[in-house]
Amino acid sequence: MQIKTESQLRELYGFPTGRSKDKVLSNLEKHAIHFIETSPFLVMSTCNNKGELDASPRGGAPGFVKVLSKTEIVIPDTKGNNIVDSISNIIETGRVGLLFLIPGVDETLRINGRAIITTDTKYLELFTSENTLPKACIVITIEDLFLHCAKAFMRSKLWDDESKIDKESFPTMGQMLKDQLGTSEAPESREDMVKRYEKDL
């Protein structure tokens, strides 16, 4: 049976209770701030006016996302592939969802809110210690946030050494792109790709 209504959904799943219901906050407190300042990686979710979705990884040294207040954080838009899906979506809808991860920690921090793209120097100057100054910043006004439970990471054993695969057994990015695009040139090696990326970090 296809579930088509929220009442059908609730009949199947029920409603959140206790901490699950009460843990949603409207602003940062000491543990959320510490989570952000310790996290070197997040996934940013956005959508455009057509409802087309995008999820984009963002990373840096722990603390690469700056906490300005209990309701405002800033993410540097560091150099990427210039497809700019995420920031184009933000310009259209002004909405964003974030999932912060910390290696070795099974819990995650989720933040939803409004966002703008800015080149204001007061934000860019927050990142003068980085290798490359961002062209723009994503300023997020938090509307809700909560800590997400560890179950997905416990199931996946993402951080366990036994879960890591041998990179040499997996196709390189160059090989995958060659196969997907049907090009004739030799695929870029993993070593060459890493050297090329390191120039822009």
- CATH code of the domain containing 113: 2.30.110.10
Would residue 37 count as lying in a domain? yes
Contacts of 80 (CB under 8 A, 6+ apart): none
Give dist(CA 22, CA 76) in Å, integer.
Answer: 31
Residue 116: phi and psi, rounded to 5, are -135, 160
Please tell me the total count of domains within the chain: 2
Q: Provide mean pLDDT across the span 173-189.
A: 92
Considering the domain architecture, whether residues 33 and 129 belong to the same structural domain is answered as yes
What's the pLDDT score for residue 129?
A: 77
Res. 82 pLDDT band, cuts 50 70 90: confident
Would residue 55 count as lying in a domain? yes
Q: Domain of 179? A: 165-198
Cβ atoms of 168 and 97 closer than 8 Å: no
Give dist(CA 161, CA 109) in Å, integer.
Answer: 23
Whole-structure pTM value: 0.92
Considering the domain architecture, whether residues 32 and 55 belong to the same structural domain is answered as yes
Would residue 12 count as lying in a domain? no
Give dist(CA 164, CA 157) in Å, integer.
Answer: 10
What's the pLDDT score for residue 164?
A: 94
